[in-house]
Structure 1
Amino acid sequence: MINPIALEITQNLRSIYSQQDRVAELFLKIGEVSDLTPLIMMGNKTVFSFKETGKSLTKIKQEILAIRTTTQADAMLAEIISNLI
Structure 2
Amino acid sequence: MGRVNVGDTFLLSLAREQQLIIERKTSHDYSVQAPNGQHLEVIQRFPNNQNQYWTGNQSGDFRVNVASVPQGMQIDIKFCAYTGEGAL
Larger radius of gyration: 2
Q: Which has the higher helix share?
A: 1
TM-score if structure 2 supplies the norm length? 0.28
TM-score if structure 1 supplies the norm length? 0.28
